[in-house]
Amino acid sequence: MKSQDFKNAMAIVPTSVAVVLVGPQDRIRACTISSLVSVDVEVPQLAFVLKSESRTLLDITREDFFSISILAETQKPLALEFSNSGSEHSLLDVFGFDFHGSSQIPYLKKTPVVFFCTFKETVKLTHSRIVIAMPFSALFNNKVRPLVYQNRLFYSLSENSV
């Protein structure tokens, strides 16, 4: 299968939009992650994909803790900003972030879900890595709707179910 055909097919599959935050207060690094999935619910584990050359990936493997924030429908600018370079960003101040617990883990506020995680391992692929994380705590808010990405566009979910 050609790479572009695969990308076009996968673009049709809707997914949440998530941002990983890592680092000390004076140097928070953030970037969007793709393919966030739960891989074990009995021993909670999450998996997501980052490019092999990602500076955020390097920080995740070096730091003790990091967070994964599922973006709210109002946080589309964050998704666009963090998909570019994975460096320190000024929009964190605009949309609000805080630090969790005694470990001072950075996370985005006003999101539907935030997972606080430790790094477990990576699985090397050709151009990227699958990161396995161990969530040890979560904050969630059922009143905030998640941002959804499908067919290269952003959407919000309505309250109506089918």
Judge whether 134 lies within some domain: yes
Whether this model's pTM surpasses 0.85? yes
Exposure letters 9-22 (e unless 16+ CB within 10 A, then b)? eeeeeeeebbbbbb
Q: What range defines the domain where residue 23 resides?
A: 3-156
Q: pLDDT grade, residue 6 (50/70/90)?
A: very high
User: CATH no. for residue 122?
Assistant: 2.30.110.10
Judge whether 161 lies within some domain: no
Q: Are the C-beta atoms of residues 122 and 115 closer than 8 Å to each other?
A: no
Per-residue pLDDT reduced to its tens digit, 108-136: 999 999 999 999 999 999 999 999 999 99
